[in-house]
Amino acid sequence: MNKKIKWDFWSIVTLSILVIFALFLIYPLTTLFIDAFKEPLTSKFTLSNFQKFFSKKYYYQALINSIVSATSVTLLSIIIGLPIAYLMTAYNIKGKKLLEILIIISMLSPPFIGAYSWVLLCGRSGVVTKFFKQYLNLNIPTIYGYAGILLVLTLKLYPFIYLYVSGALKKIDSSLIEAAESLGSKPSRKLVFVIIPLILPTLLAGGLLVFMNAIADFGTPVLIGEGYNVMPTLIYSEFISEVGGQANFAAAMATVMVFLTSIIFLIQRYIINKRSYVMSSLRPIQTGKLKGIGNYLAHIFIYFIVILSIIPQITVIYTSFLNTKGAMFLHEFSLKSYRTVFSRLGKSIANTYVYGLVAIVVIILIGMLTAYISTRRKSTITTIIDTVTMFPYIIPGSVLGITLLLAFNKGYIILSGTATIMIIAFVIRRLPYTLRSSAAILYQISPSIEEASISLGCSPVKTFFKVTAKMMLPGVLSGAILSWITVINELSASVILYTSNTRTMSVTIYTEVVRASYGTAAALSTILTATTIVSLLIFFKLTGSKNISI
């Protein structure tokens, strides 16, 4: 409004946030893209890195694998998630509350725990494999490769579809269905002609979210994929094998990856903008009763899926209390694994909590302030910030790790190997959850509440902390819980950035699994899962709701 720039609190906040994002996101990303077009030794501009990628089957096969597996996971998640969401919303399903919590837990536990416990169960020397071999003389199909990735990621990601779709279903007012029926639509047709079209945008959005998660996942394919290379594992191995050398080829692959995810992200945005309906439900759909065989089938289906998806957690917890001998679990209970963990790997637990807490404080602070400036102090700069904060959605964790490492292992700011770089990665990567939920609640708070406070003599900055921040808190928390849980479970960026001093639980679980130290991995996983569940329970207690914003 005023031509002269006023150096008030909010313009300082705006500039600081801009600087933070420029330094830790834009600059590293640009460095990466430039590196991708450089020749390793001479630093001349070239397309040879890309030529190399697209001419050797070993490389481009990973891209194809990534797309194929992510697409299959997405379709399978929809096939599983959609019916569960519909059945749970429209009908009485016994134990609904417990089922919902189990679904959320299976979604929020780290995917590599799923991969690793399926290996424990159905791997070459897994319990189930041995059982079939010994007693039935049957060879069960291999869990490694494409099938394993599909199994683990689907069971981990279908909850996104479930939560998205049941959220949309809850917003459909039953009068819409009654209107359809009064216009002569048979009850069986209402599903096809009313409900499906109304939830379609949500379903697509959820589907693309699943796709993004599946394609960016590192932990699952690295543990269960074996020969089945996908982009994140290929980028990781290329990058690690070039330590000390030039990372230009890894940078080129990362660029290809970011290009792919950007396209998907843009499609998702386009669909959401184009085809979303505003619905507010005064009278949500009443739950009905399923009768006879249908009722049994619905229960069997839902319980089967939910139990299947919670099996990894149970396996991990169970085996963590078993005595071990090398890579083998013995048939006796013991706390040996925990003793080993606390004596040898205690540092990683402390690191996880300390880094996690620092990161979440920074995330909440930046999230709230950024949400505020971009909803209440709109300007060109806040629009730029808004766009930039979307980037973490399209940058796979391993790529983010590489960009940060490449940018800060030389030059004026050297951060490689420090705790700071780990925390920066956590903040950048998991800020969007908190940011989005903060912005969402701000849109619900009328600006006149702030004006009322100002008119009563409270300065704008004081008003933010005294009134606005307090009113934002429930919304902020619903995003922060997700930021927190994903921070402590974060693997794909940390695995590139960690050193022996800054390793976290996730990284340690991964390295322990790689060196076949399954007992300690199980104990650490149990601690991590327990932390996740306790955090969730505290959040549910605190807010009195089961809503987390995804």
Partner 1 sequence: MSVAIKIENVVKKYEKTTVIPNLSLDIKNGEFFTLLGPSGCGKTTLLRMIAGFNSIDGGYIKFDDEVINEIPAYKRNIGMVFQNYAIFPHLTVKENVEYGLKLRKIPKVESDRRVEEMLRTVKMYDYKDRLPDRLSGGQQQRIALARAIVIRPNVLLMDEPLSNLDAKLRIEMRSVIRDIQKEIGITTVYVTHDQEEALAISDRIAVMKEGVVQQVGTPCQIYKRPANTFVATFIGSSNLVRAKIKFENDDKYIVFNSEFKIKMNNLKKSVKDGQSVVVSIRPEELKISNKGLKVKILKGTFFGKFINYEFRLNDDIVFGDNKVCEFVQDISDVNIFLKENDEVYLEPDLKRINVFDEDGSVNLVEDVILYE
Q: What angle do CA 55, 60, 65 make, to 5 degrees?
A: 160
3-state secondary structure 162-199: HHHHHHHHHHCEHHHHHHHHHCCCCHHHHHHHHHHHHH
Is 8 or 178 the residue whose CB approaches partner 1 more closely? 8
Residue 455 binding partner 1, by CB under 8 A: yes
Residue 458 binding partner 1, by CB under 8 A: yes
Is 178 or 451 the residue whose CB approaches partner 1 more closely? 451
Q: What is the C-alpha to C-alpha distance for residues 76 and 82, in angstroms, rounded to an integer?
A: 10
| Contacts to partner 1 from residues 464-483, by CB under 8 A | 467, 470-471
Binding-site residue total for partner 1 (CB under 8 A)? 19
Q: What is the C-alpha to C-alpha distance for residues 43 and 370, in angstroms, rounded to an integer?
A: 38
Residue 175 binding partner 1, by CB under 8 A: no
Residue 380 binding partner 1, by CB under 8 A: no
Q: How far is the CB of 8 from partner 1 (least distance, A)?
A: 10
Residue 30 binding partner 1, by CB under 8 A: no
Q: Which of 448, 500, 541, 544 binds partner 1 (CB under 8 A)?
A: 448
The dihedral through the CA atoms of 185, 188, 192, 196 has a sign that is positive
Q: What is the DSSP string of 477-515?
A: HHHHHHHHHHHHH--TTHHHH--TTT--HHHHHHHHHHT
Q: What is the C-alpha to C-alpha distance for residues 120 and 334, in angstroms, rounded to an integer?
A: 18
Residue 383 binding partner 1, by CB under 8 A: no
Q: How far is the CB of 16 from partner 1 (least distance, A)?
A: 22
Is 290 or 471 the residue whose CB approaches partner 1 more closely? 471
Residue 378 binding partner 1, by CB under 8 A: no
Q: Where are the beta strands (DSSP E) in 211-321?
A: none
Is 255 or 453 the residue whose CB approaches partner 1 more closely? 453
Is 330 or 461 the residue whose CB approaches partner 1 more closely? 461
Q: How far is the CB of 368 from partner 1 (least distance, A)?
A: 16
Residue 379 binding partner 1, by CB under 8 A: no
Q: What angle do CA 527, 532, 536 make, to 5 degrees?
A: 145
Q: How far is the CB of 12 from partner 1 (least distance, A)?
A: 17
Residue 1 binding partner 1, by CB under 8 A: yes
Q: How far is the CB of 2 from partner 1 (least distance, A)?
A: 6
Q: How far is the CB of 3 from partner 1 (least distance, A)?
A: 10
Can you list the alpha helix ranges (DSSP code H) found in 22-126?
27-36, 48-55, 57-90, 96-108, 111-122
Q: Which of 2, 42, 343, 380 binds partner 1 (CB under 8 A)?
A: 2
Residue 451 binding partner 1, by CB under 8 A: yes
The dihedral through the CA atoms of 527, 530, 534, 535 has a sign that is positive
Is 167 or 460 the residue whose CB approaches partner 1 more closely? 460
Specify the length of the chain in residues. Answer: 550
Judged by CB under 8 A, the stretch of 184-192, 332-340, 416-424, 451-459 that binds partner 1 is: 451-459
Q: Which of 64, 263, 452, 542 binds partner 1 (CB under 8 A)?
A: 452
Picking from 189, 206, 174, 184, the residue whose alpha carbon sits closest to that of residue 80 is 206
Is 440 or 467 the residue whose CB approaches partner 1 more closely? 467
Nearby residues of 248 by Cβ (< 8 Å), 6 or more positions away: 35, 36, 38, 39, 40, 49
Nearby residues of 258 by Cβ (< 8 Å), 6 or more positions away: 29, 394, 395, 396, 399
Q: Which of 65, 74, 453, 506 binds partner 1 (CB under 8 A)?
A: 453
Position 137: which residue type? N
Judged by CB under 8 A, the stretch of 82-90, 280-288, 300-308, 457-465 that binds partner 1 is: 457-465
**Residue 545 phi, psi dihedral angles, 5° rounding:** -140, 170
Position 272: which residue type? I
Q: How far is the CB of 376 from partner 1 (least distance, A)?
A: 12
Q: Which of 446, 499, 501, 545 binds partner 1 (CB under 8 A)?
A: 446
Residue for token digits 């700011």? 413
Picking from 100, 296, 277, the residue whose alpha carbon sits closest to that of residue 196 is 277
Residue 459 binding partner 1, by CB under 8 A: yes
Q: How far is the CB of 545 from partner 1 (least distance, A)?
A: 16
Q: What is the C-alpha to C-alpha distance for residues 271 and 266, in angstroms, rounded to an integer?
A: 9
Judged by CB under 8 A, the stretch of 149-157, 334-342, 399-407, 443-451 that binds partner 1 is: 443-451
Residue 457 binding partner 1, by CB under 8 A: yes
Residue for token digits 């605190």? 542
Chain residues that interact with partner 1, rule: CB under 8 A: 1-2, 446, 448-449, 451-460, 463, 467, 470-471
